[in-house]
Amino acid sequence: MFGLPSTKMSVFFFLVNQETDAEEELKEAFKVFDKDQNGYISATELRHVMINLGEKLTDEEVEQMIREADLDGDGQVNYDEFVKMMMTA
C-alpha cells in the first residue's frame, strides 16, 4: 500500500493517529475554555477556568494572557489563536 514497507506504513499510520489525537485534544481543551460555545475565549471565560483550576490571577494577568494569544486584536482568543498559543507553549 502506497509503496511503503509495512514497518514504515505502521509508523506512518501511528504518526497520523498522533496528529489526529492531538487535534482532538486541542478541540476539547478549547471547548473547556469557550463556556458559551461562541467560538471565542473571553477574559471572563479564561478567568473562570483558571479559578476552577486553582489559579489565583489578577484581572491584569488574565488580560495579559488574552493579549498574548489574541493575534487579530479583537480582545478574544479564537480557535486558531488558541492552537498557535498551545503549539508554542
Q: What is the pLDDT of residue 21?
A: 78
Domains of the chain: 6-88 (1.10.238.10)
Report the interhelical angle of 59-69 vs 79-88 (nearest 10°). 100
pLDDT digits 0-9 by tens, 28-86 = 999 999 999 999 999 999 999 999 989 888 999 999 999 999 999 999 999 999 999 98
Contact 57, 17 (CB under 8 A): no
Confidence of residue 88 (pLDDT cuts 50, 70, 90): confident
DSSP letter (8 states) at residue 41: E
The closest alpha carbon to 32, from 86, 72, 71, belongs to 86
Q: Show the 3-state SS of 12-37.
A: HHHHHHHHHHHHHHHHHHHHHHCCCC
Residue with cell 475554555: 33
